[in-house]
Chain A
Protein backbone atom coordinates (compact mmCIF):
# COMPACT_ATOMS: atom_id res chain seq x y z
CA UNK A 1 0.00 0.00 0.00
CA UNK A 2 2.76 2.39 0.98
CA UNK A 3 4.57 1.64 -2.26
CA UNK A 4 1.41 2.29 -4.21
CA UNK A 5 0.98 5.67 -2.53
CA UNK A 6 4.59 6.55 -3.24
CA UNK A 7 4.11 5.53 -6.84
CA UNK A 8 1.03 7.71 -7.14
CA UNK A 9 2.84 10.62 -5.57
CA UNK A 10 5.79 10.07 -7.87
CA UNK A 11 3.51 9.92 -10.87
CA UNK A 12 1.70 13.08 -9.81
CA UNK A 13 5.02 14.85 -9.39
CA UNK A 14 6.29 13.69 -12.77
CA UNK A 15 3.02 14.68 -14.40
CA UNK A 16 3.09 18.15 -12.91
CA UNK A 17 6.69 18.53 -14.06
CA UNK A 18 5.85 17.45 -17.58
CA UNK A 19 2.74 19.59 -17.73
CA UNK A 20 4.21 22.58 -15.93
CA UNK A 21 2.85 25.56 -17.80
CA UNK A 22 5.09 28.56 -17.23
CA UNK A 23 3.04 30.68 -19.63
CA UNK A 24 -0.17 30.12 -17.64
CA UNK A 25 1.72 30.56 -14.36
CA UNK A 26 3.29 33.89 -15.29
CA UNK A 27 -0.01 35.15 -16.68
CA UNK A 28 -1.76 34.24 -13.42
CA UNK A 29 0.97 36.05 -11.49
CA UNK A 30 0.58 39.18 -13.62
CA UNK A 31 -3.19 39.11 -13.15
CA UNK A 32 -2.70 38.83 -9.38
CA UNK A 33 -0.34 41.83 -9.49
CA UNK A 34 -2.94 43.81 -11.41
CA UNK A 35 -5.61 42.86 -8.90
CA UNK A 36 -3.44 43.97 -5.99
CA UNK A 37 -2.66 47.30 -7.66
CA UNK A 38 -6.34 47.70 -8.51
CA UNK A 39 -7.35 47.16 -4.88
CA UNK A 40 -5.37 50.19 -3.67
CA UNK A 41 -5.67 52.47 -6.69
CA UNK A 42 -9.10 53.85 -5.66
CA UNK A 43 -7.54 54.89 -2.33
CA UNK A 44 -4.69 56.65 -4.13
CA UNK A 45 -7.23 58.40 -6.38
CA UNK A 46 -9.22 59.53 -3.35
CA UNK A 47 -12.28 57.51 -4.32
CA UNK A 48 -12.01 55.30 -1.22
CA UNK A 49 -10.97 56.01 2.35
CA UNK A 50 -7.49 55.05 3.45
CA UNK A 51 -7.46 51.53 4.88
CA UNK A 52 -4.10 50.57 6.37
CA UNK A 53 -4.87 46.84 6.58
CA UNK A 54 -6.04 46.63 2.96
CA UNK A 55 -3.00 48.59 1.80
CA UNK A 56 -0.60 46.30 3.68
CA UNK A 57 -2.33 43.20 2.29
CA UNK A 58 -1.92 44.44 -1.27
CA UNK A 59 1.70 45.57 -0.84
CA UNK A 60 2.60 42.29 0.87
CA UNK A 61 0.99 40.33 -1.95
CA UNK A 62 2.97 42.33 -4.52
CA UNK A 63 6.22 41.76 -2.62
CA UNK A 64 5.52 38.01 -2.43
CA UNK A 65 4.70 37.85 -6.13
CA UNK A 66 7.89 39.73 -6.92
CA UNK A 67 9.87 37.04 -5.10
CA UNK A 68 8.21 34.41 -7.29
CA UNK A 69 9.41 36.10 -10.49
CA UNK A 70 12.30 33.77 -11.25
CA UNK A 71 13.02 33.82 -15.00
CA UNK A 72 14.30 30.21 -14.88
CA UNK A 73 10.89 29.08 -13.59
CA UNK A 74 8.40 31.42 -15.24
CA UNK A 75 10.29 32.32 -18.43
CA UNK A 76 12.35 29.18 -19.13
CA UNK A 77 13.94 28.66 -22.52
CA UNK A 78 11.28 27.00 -24.63
CA UNK A 79 8.45 29.22 -23.39
CA UNK A 80 9.22 32.08 -25.81
CA UNK A 81 6.14 31.24 -27.82
CA UNK A 82 2.99 29.26 -27.28
CA UNK A 83 -0.45 29.91 -25.90
CA UNK A 84 -1.29 33.55 -25.99
CA UNK A 85 1.96 34.69 -24.46
CA UNK A 86 2.82 38.36 -24.89
CA UNK A 87 6.31 38.00 -23.46
CA UNK A 88 8.75 39.84 -25.72
CA UNK A 89 11.79 38.17 -27.33
CA UNK A 90 13.91 40.71 -25.40
CA UNK A 91 13.41 38.57 -22.26
CA UNK A 92 15.58 35.85 -23.77
CA UNK A 93 17.79 38.15 -25.84
CA UNK A 94 18.79 40.37 -22.94
CA UNK A 95 18.35 38.27 -19.78
CA UNK A 96 20.55 40.57 -17.69
CA UNK A 97 18.29 43.56 -18.36
CA UNK A 98 15.22 41.45 -17.59
CA UNK A 99 16.70 40.25 -14.31
CA UNK A 100 17.57 43.87 -13.44
CA UNK A 101 13.95 44.88 -14.03
CA UNK A 102 12.73 42.05 -11.77
CA UNK A 103 15.27 42.96 -9.08
CA UNK A 104 14.02 46.55 -9.15
CA UNK A 105 10.43 45.32 -8.70
CA UNK A 106 11.56 43.15 -5.77
CA UNK A 107 13.39 46.05 -4.15
CA UNK A 108 10.57 48.57 -4.64
CA UNK A 109 7.84 46.25 -3.33
CA UNK A 110 9.98 45.22 -0.33
CA UNK A 111 10.63 48.88 0.42
CA UNK A 112 6.90 49.63 0.22
CA UNK A 113 6.13 46.89 2.75
CA UNK A 114 8.92 48.09 5.03
CA UNK A 115 7.61 51.65 4.81
CA UNK A 116 4.17 50.45 5.97
CA UNK A 117 2.40 53.62 4.76
CA UNK A 118 0.17 54.97 7.52
CA UNK A 119 -1.64 57.65 5.54
CA UNK A 120 -2.59 58.62 2.01
CA UNK A 121 0.45 60.79 1.34
CA UNK A 122 2.83 58.04 2.40
CA UNK A 123 0.90 55.55 0.27
CA UNK A 124 1.09 57.79 -2.81
CA UNK A 125 4.88 57.76 -2.63
CA UNK A 126 5.09 53.97 -2.34
CA UNK A 127 2.34 53.35 -4.88
CA UNK A 128 4.11 55.55 -7.43
CA UNK A 129 7.41 53.75 -6.91
CA UNK A 130 5.81 50.30 -7.24
CA UNK A 131 3.59 51.28 -10.18
CA UNK A 132 6.54 52.62 -12.20
CA UNK A 133 7.73 49.01 -12.45
CA UNK A 134 4.66 47.91 -14.44
CA UNK A 135 5.18 50.16 -17.46
CA UNK A 136 8.93 50.19 -16.92
CA UNK A 137 9.13 46.46 -17.53
CA UNK A 138 6.32 46.21 -20.11
CA UNK A 139 8.00 48.88 -22.23
CA UNK A 140 10.70 46.48 -23.37
CA UNK A 141 9.63 43.02 -22.24
CA UNK A 142 6.05 42.72 -23.40
CA UNK A 143 4.58 42.95 -26.89
CA UNK A 144 0.98 43.44 -27.90
CA UNK A 145 -0.55 40.83 -30.15
CA UNK A 146 -3.61 41.14 -32.33
Chain B
Protein backbone atom coordinates (compact mmCIF):
# COMPACT_ATOMS: atom_id res chain seq x y z
CA UNK B 1 0.00 0.00 0.00
CA UNK B 2 1.49 3.36 -1.03
CA UNK B 3 1.49 6.53 1.03
CA UNK B 4 -1.72 7.81 -0.55
CA UNK B 5 -3.41 4.48 0.01
CA UNK B 6 -2.42 4.52 3.68
CA UNK B 7 -3.67 8.08 4.09
CA UNK B 8 -6.94 7.23 2.40
CA UNK B 9 -7.37 4.22 4.63
CA UNK B 10 -6.64 6.35 7.71
CA UNK B 11 -9.11 8.99 6.55
CA UNK B 12 -11.75 6.33 5.96
CA UNK B 13 -11.13 4.88 9.41
CA UNK B 14 -11.31 8.31 11.03
CA UNK B 15 -14.49 9.04 9.14
CA UNK B 16 -15.97 5.74 10.17
CA UNK B 17 -14.97 6.37 13.79
CA UNK B 18 -16.55 9.83 13.71
CA UNK B 19 -19.70 8.37 12.20
CA UNK B 20 -19.77 5.71 14.88
CA UNK B 21 -19.38 8.33 17.62
CA UNK B 22 -22.15 10.42 16.01
CA UNK B 23 -24.36 7.36 15.73
CA UNK B 24 -23.89 6.41 19.37
CA UNK B 25 -24.10 9.98 20.71
CA UNK B 26 -27.29 10.74 18.81
CA UNK B 27 -29.08 7.48 19.60
CA UNK B 28 -32.65 8.15 20.77
CA UNK B 29 -32.57 7.34 24.50
CA UNK B 30 -35.68 5.70 25.86
CA UNK B 31 -36.76 5.95 29.49
CA UNK B 32 -34.88 3.82 32.01
CA UNK B 33 -36.75 0.78 33.36
CA UNK B 34 -37.01 2.38 36.81
CA UNK B 35 -39.16 5.22 35.49
CA UNK B 36 -41.23 2.92 33.26
CA UNK B 37 -42.01 0.81 36.33
CA UNK B 38 -43.36 3.92 38.09
CA UNK B 39 -45.96 4.58 35.38
CA UNK B 40 -48.55 2.36 37.01
CA UNK B 41 -52.23 2.35 36.18
CA UNK B 42 -53.41 5.79 35.12
CA UNK B 43 -56.46 7.54 36.54
CA UNK B 44 -58.44 9.43 33.88
CA UNK B 45 -60.06 11.72 36.46
CA UNK B 46 -56.71 12.97 37.71
CA UNK B 47 -55.37 13.03 34.15
CA UNK B 48 -57.85 15.70 33.06
CA UNK B 49 -56.11 18.24 35.30
CA UNK B 50 -52.76 17.34 33.73
CA UNK B 51 -54.32 17.67 30.29
CA UNK B 52 -55.29 21.31 30.97
CA UNK B 53 -52.04 22.07 32.78
CA UNK B 54 -50.13 20.73 29.76
CA UNK B 55 -52.17 22.74 27.26
CA UNK B 56 -52.25 19.91 24.69
CA UNK B 57 -55.18 21.52 22.88
CA UNK B 58 -53.34 24.79 22.27
CA UNK B 59 -51.26 23.13 19.55
CA UNK B 60 -53.06 19.88 18.75
CA UNK B 61 -56.72 20.97 18.44
CA UNK B 62 -57.88 21.84 14.94
CA UNK B 63 -57.15 25.54 14.30
CA UNK B 64 -60.07 27.82 15.30
CA UNK B 65 -62.08 24.99 16.86
CA UNK B 66 -64.20 25.91 19.87
CA UNK B 67 -65.89 24.17 22.79
CA UNK B 68 -66.11 20.37 22.74
CA UNK B 69 -64.27 20.30 19.42
CA UNK B 70 -61.14 21.36 21.35
CA UNK B 71 -61.05 17.79 22.66
CA UNK B 72 -60.55 16.41 19.19
CA UNK B 73 -56.84 16.49 18.61
CA UNK B 74 -56.21 16.10 14.89
CA UNK B 75 -53.26 18.54 14.83
CA UNK B 76 -52.67 20.51 11.67
CA UNK B 77 -52.01 23.98 13.07
CA UNK B 78 -48.84 25.59 11.75
CA UNK B 79 -46.04 27.00 13.88
CA UNK B 80 -43.94 29.36 11.77
CA UNK B 81 -40.52 29.48 13.44
CA UNK B 82 -37.04 30.52 12.33
CA UNK B 83 -36.25 26.80 11.90
CA UNK B 84 -39.14 26.22 9.53
CA UNK B 85 -42.82 25.32 9.80
CA UNK B 86 -43.73 22.75 12.43
CA UNK B 87 -47.11 21.04 12.11
CA UNK B 88 -48.38 19.45 15.34
CA UNK B 89 -49.45 15.87 14.58
CA UNK B 90 -52.71 14.06 15.24
CA UNK B 91 -52.65 12.91 18.90
CA UNK B 92 -56.26 11.74 19.00
CA UNK B 93 -57.16 8.13 19.75
CA UNK B 94 -57.31 7.22 16.07
CA UNK B 95 -55.25 3.98 15.88
CA UNK B 96 -53.72 4.83 12.50
CA UNK B 97 -53.44 8.63 12.25
CA UNK B 98 -53.29 9.32 15.99
CA UNK B 99 -51.90 7.63 19.08
CA UNK B 100 -54.74 5.17 19.74
CA UNK B 101 -52.38 2.24 19.27
CA UNK B 102 -49.75 3.45 21.73
CA UNK B 103 -48.91 1.77 25.02
CA UNK B 104 -48.44 3.90 28.13
CA UNK B 105 -44.71 3.26 27.74
CA UNK B 106 -44.77 4.61 24.17
CA UNK B 107 -46.60 7.67 25.46
CA UNK B 108 -44.16 8.25 28.34
CA UNK B 109 -41.16 7.95 26.01
CA UNK B 110 -42.67 10.56 23.72
CA UNK B 111 -43.55 12.93 26.58
CA UNK B 112 -40.46 12.58 28.74
CA UNK B 113 -37.69 11.76 26.25
CA UNK B 114 -38.99 13.00 22.91
CA UNK B 115 -38.69 9.54 21.35
CA UNK B 116 -41.37 8.09 19.06
CA UNK B 117 -42.56 4.45 19.24
CA UNK B 118 -40.49 3.88 16.09
CA UNK B 119 -37.41 5.06 17.98
CA UNK B 120 -36.97 8.44 16.25
CA UNK B 121 -36.34 11.82 17.85
CA UNK B 122 -39.19 14.32 17.98
CA UNK B 123 -38.44 17.96 17.31
CA UNK B 124 -38.47 20.05 20.49
CA UNK B 125 -41.32 22.21 19.14
CA UNK B 126 -43.08 19.44 21.11
CA UNK B 127 -42.03 20.63 24.59
CA UNK B 128 -40.67 17.36 25.97
CA UNK B 129 -37.79 19.41 27.37
CA UNK B 130 -40.38 20.54 29.95
CA UNK B 131 -42.45 17.36 30.11
CA UNK B 132 -39.22 15.48 31.00
CA UNK B 133 -39.68 16.93 34.52
CA UNK B 134 -43.15 15.39 34.95
CA UNK B 135 -43.96 12.74 37.51
CA UNK B 136 -44.39 9.33 35.85
CA UNK B 137 -47.75 8.95 37.62
CA UNK B 138 -49.01 12.20 36.07
CA UNK B 139 -47.95 10.99 32.62
CA UNK B 140 -49.81 7.71 33.19
CA UNK B 141 -52.90 9.65 34.39
CA UNK B 142 -52.76 11.87 31.31
CA UNK B 143 -52.52 8.76 29.12
CA UNK B 144 -55.63 7.36 30.82
CA UNK B 145 -57.54 10.63 30.32
CA UNK B 146 -56.60 10.87 26.66
CA UNK B 147 -57.92 7.31 26.19
CA UNK B 148 -61.37 8.80 26.96
CA UNK B 149 -61.11 11.37 24.15
CA UNK B 150 -62.39 10.82 20.60
CA UNK B 151 -60.57 9.18 17.70
CA UNK B 152 -60.26 11.77 14.95
CA UNK B 153 -59.12 10.39 11.60
CA UNK B 154 -56.78 12.29 9.29
CA UNK B 155 -53.00 12.61 9.43
CA UNK B 156 -51.57 16.12 9.81
CA UNK B 157 -49.17 17.41 7.18
CA UNK B 158 -45.40 16.92 7.55
CA UNK B 159 -43.14 19.60 9.02
CA UNK B 160 -41.54 21.86 6.41
CA UNK B 161 -37.94 22.43 7.51
CA UNK B 162 -34.70 23.25 5.78
CA UNK B 163 -31.39 21.34 6.02
CA UNK B 164 -29.79 20.59 8.49
CA UNK B 165 -32.95 20.55 10.62
CA UNK B 166 -34.32 17.78 8.41
CA UNK B 167 -31.80 15.37 9.98
CA UNK B 168 -33.71 14.11 13.02
CA UNK B 169 -30.76 12.08 14.22
CA UNK B 170 -28.88 15.33 14.88
CA UNK B 171 -31.38 16.07 17.65
CA UNK B 172 -29.56 13.47 19.73
CA UNK B 173 -26.70 15.99 20.16
CA UNK B 174 -29.18 18.75 20.93
CA UNK B 175 -30.77 16.60 23.62
CA UNK B 176 -27.37 15.96 25.22
CA UNK B 177 -27.11 19.73 25.65
CA UNK B 178 -30.65 20.65 26.64
CA UNK B 179 -32.73 17.68 27.79
CA UNK B 180 -32.78 17.33 31.56
CA UNK B 181 -35.36 16.12 34.05
CA UNK B 182 -33.90 18.28 36.84
CA UNK B 183 -35.82 21.35 38.09
CA UNK B 184 -34.52 24.65 36.70
CA UNK B 185 -34.87 26.88 39.74
CA UNK B 186 -33.09 25.65 42.85
CA UNK B 187 -34.91 26.66 46.01
CA UNK B 188 -33.27 26.39 49.43
CA UNK B 189 -34.42 23.63 51.77
CA UNK B 190 -37.62 24.63 53.52
CA UNK B 191 -39.14 26.48 50.54
CA UNK B 192 -42.94 26.57 50.89
CA UNK B 193 -44.81 23.59 49.45
CA UNK B 194 -46.92 25.98 47.38
CA UNK B 195 -43.80 27.33 45.64
CA UNK B 196 -42.52 23.81 44.93
CA UNK B 197 -45.93 22.75 43.62
CA UNK B 198 -45.86 25.81 41.36
CA UNK B 199 -42.37 24.95 40.18
CA UNK B 200 -43.54 21.52 39.16
CA UNK B 201 -46.56 22.87 37.25
CA UNK B 202 -44.70 25.76 35.59
CA UNK B 203 -41.44 23.97 34.71
CA UNK B 204 -43.05 20.59 33.93
CA UNK B 205 -46.50 20.16 32.40
CA UNK B 206 -47.22 23.91 32.09
CA UNK B 207 -44.02 24.39 30.03
CA UNK B 208 -44.02 28.19 30.65
CA UNK B 209 -40.29 28.37 29.93
CA UNK B 210 -40.72 27.25 26.32
CA UNK B 211 -42.04 30.68 25.31
CA UNK B 212 -41.05 32.92 28.24
CA UNK B 213 -37.31 32.06 28.25
CA UNK B 214 -34.89 33.36 25.61
CA UNK B 215 -33.21 30.75 23.42
CA UNK B 216 -29.59 30.54 22.38
CA UNK B 217 -28.22 30.11 18.83
CA UNK B 218 -29.06 26.40 18.84
CA UNK B 219 -32.59 26.94 20.05
CA UNK B 220 -31.98 25.77 23.62
CA UNK B 221 -33.50 27.58 26.59
CA UNK B 222 -31.05 29.94 28.34
CA UNK B 223 -31.63 28.75 31.88
CA UNK B 224 -29.53 31.60 33.31
CA UNK B 225 -32.27 33.93 32.08
CA UNK B 226 -35.18 31.67 32.98
CA UNK B 227 -38.64 33.20 32.31
CA UNK B 228 -37.17 36.63 31.55
CA UNK B 229 -39.18 36.92 28.34
CA UNK B 230 -38.16 36.43 24.74
CA UNK B 231 -38.76 37.49 21.19
CA UNK B 232 -41.87 35.63 20.03
CA UNK B 233 -40.97 32.39 18.22
CA UNK B 234 -43.75 33.13 15.76
CA UNK B 235 -44.37 36.48 14.10
CA UNK B 236 -43.58 39.86 15.59
CA UNK B 237 -43.50 41.05 19.15
CA UNK B 238 -42.30 39.65 22.42
CA UNK B 239 -43.34 37.25 25.14
CA UNK B 240 -43.18 39.12 28.48
CA UNK B 241 -40.69 38.84 31.30
CA UNK B 242 -42.54 37.05 34.10
CA UNK B 243 -39.76 37.17 36.70
CA UNK B 244 -39.93 39.85 39.43
CA UNK B 245 -36.98 41.63 37.69
CA UNK B 246 -36.80 44.98 35.92
CA UNK B 247 -39.52 45.03 33.26
CA UNK B 248 -41.09 41.88 34.71
CA UNK B 249 -44.20 41.13 36.72
CA UNK B 250 -45.02 43.55 39.51
CA UNK B 251 -48.36 41.94 40.37
CA UNK B 252 -49.20 40.34 43.70
CA UNK B 253 -49.58 36.57 43.85
CA UNK B 254 -53.37 36.89 43.93
CA UNK B 255 -53.28 39.23 40.92
CA UNK B 256 -51.23 36.65 38.98
CA UNK B 257 -53.68 33.90 39.95
CA UNK B 258 -56.60 36.16 38.95
CA UNK B 259 -55.02 36.80 35.57
CA UNK B 260 -54.65 33.07 34.94
CA UNK B 261 -58.32 32.59 35.91
CA UNK B 262 -59.97 35.55 34.16
CA UNK B 263 -57.55 36.75 31.51
CA UNK B 264 -57.50 40.28 32.93
CA UNK B 265 -54.51 42.15 34.31
CA UNK B 266 -54.89 44.26 37.46
CA UNK B 267 -55.36 47.30 35.17
CA UNK B 268 -58.03 45.44 33.20
CA UNK B 269 -55.97 45.06 30.14
CA UNK B 270 -56.63 41.61 28.68
CA UNK B 271 -54.65 38.53 27.81
CA UNK B 272 -53.49 38.45 24.18
CA UNK B 273 -51.55 36.48 21.61
CA UNK B 274 -50.70 32.83 22.23
CA UNK B 275 -51.40 33.34 25.95
CA UNK B 276 -55.14 33.49 25.20
CA UNK B 277 -55.30 29.72 24.71
CA UNK B 278 -52.94 29.10 27.63
CA UNK B 279 -55.11 31.19 29.96
CA UNK B 280 -58.27 29.34 28.89
CA UNK B 281 -56.54 26.10 29.87
CA UNK B 282 -55.26 27.54 33.16
CA UNK B 283 -58.81 28.67 33.99
CA UNK B 284 -59.82 24.98 34.02
CA UNK B 285 -57.33 24.09 36.77
CA UNK B 286 -58.21 24.00 40.46
CA UNK B 287 -57.64 27.36 42.21
CA UNK B 288 -54.78 25.87 44.24
CA UNK B 289 -52.82 25.20 41.04
CA UNK B 290 -53.10 28.83 39.88
CA UNK B 291 -52.10 29.94 43.39
CA UNK B 292 -49.09 27.61 43.22
CA UNK B 293 -47.91 28.97 39.86
CA UNK B 294 -48.33 32.51 41.20
CA UNK B 295 -46.31 31.69 44.33
CA UNK B 296 -43.56 30.21 42.15
CA UNK B 297 -43.42 33.28 39.90
CA UNK B 298 -43.08 35.51 42.97
CA UNK B 299 -40.22 33.34 44.27
CA UNK B 300 -38.02 32.86 41.18
CA UNK B 301 -34.80 34.84 40.62
CA UNK B 302 -35.39 38.28 39.07
CA UNK B 303 -33.89 38.94 35.62
CA UNK B 304 -33.95 41.95 33.32
CA UNK B 305 -35.91 41.51 30.09
CA UNK B 306 -34.68 38.64 27.94
CA UNK B 307 -35.49 40.55 24.74
CA UNK B 308 -34.02 43.75 23.31
CA UNK B 309 -35.72 47.07 24.07
CA UNK B 310 -38.25 48.04 21.46
CA UNK B 311 -37.19 50.69 18.97
CA UNK B 312 -40.11 52.83 17.84
CA UNK B 313 -40.43 52.76 14.06
CA UNK B 314 -39.54 56.03 12.37
CA UNK B 315 -42.44 57.23 10.24
Contacts and interface: CB of A to CB of B under 8 A. Distances in A.
Contact of B276 (A41, A81, A136): A136
Interface stretch (B34-42, B45-53, B163-171, B235-243): B235-243
Nearest to A142: B272
Given A82-B313, A138-B272, A144-B237, 6 more contacts: A41-B268, A83-B312, A84-B312, A134-B271, A143-B273, A146-B247
A131 B237 contact: no
A126 B268 CA distance: 17
Contacts of B310: 145-146
B273 to A, nearest CB: 6
Interface of B: 229, 232, 235-240, 247, 262-264, 267-274, 276-277, 279, 305, 307-310, 312-313, 315
Contact of A144 (B268, B272, B277, B309): B272
Contacts of A139: 272-274, 276-277
B240 to A, nearest CB: 6
Nearest to B237: A143
A131 B262 contact: yes
B239 A134 contact: no
Nearest to A138: B272
Nearest to A30: B269
Contacts of B305: 146
A46 interface: no
B248 to A, nearest CB: 12
A6 to B, nearest CB: 34
B238 A131 contact: no
Contacts of A30: 269
Secondary structure class of chain B's binding surface, majority of residues: loop
A63 B1 CA distance: 90
Contacts of A35: 268
What interface size band does chain A fall in?
Answer: 20 to 34
Interface in A61-105: 81-84, 86, 88-89
Given A81-B315, A83-B312, A84-B312, A143 B264 contact: no
Contacts of B236: 88-89, 143
A37 interface: yes
17 contacts: A34-B267, A41-B264, A83-B312, A86-B237, A88-B235, A134-B264, A134-B271, A135-B270, A138-B273, A139-B276, A142-B273, A143-B232, A143-B237, A144-B238, A144-B239, A146-B247, A146-B309
Contact of A135 (B232, B272, B309): B272
A10 interface: no
Contacts of B308: 146
A103 B262 CA distance: 23
B268 A135 contact: no
A138 B239 contact: no
A13 B272 CA distance: 36
Contacts of A41: 262, 264, 268
Given A82-B315, A144-B239, A37 B309 contact: no
A69 to B, nearest CB: 15
A135 B277 CA distance: 9
Interface in A8-36: 30, 34-35
A138 B315 contact: no
Contacts of B240: 144
Given A35-B268, A138-B271, A143 B235 contact: yes
B313 A81 contact: yes
Nearest to B267: A34
Nearest to B240: A144
A134 B277 CA distance: 13
A65 to B, nearest CB: 13
Nearest to A128: B262
Nearest to B270: A134
B297 to A, nearest CB: 17
B235 A38 contact: no
A37 B264 contact: yes
Contacts of B263: 131, 134-135
A138 B236 CA distance: 14
B276 A135 contact: yes
The 6 closest A-B pairs by CB, nearest first: A138-B272, A143-B237, A134-B270, A38-B268, A34-B268, A139-B276
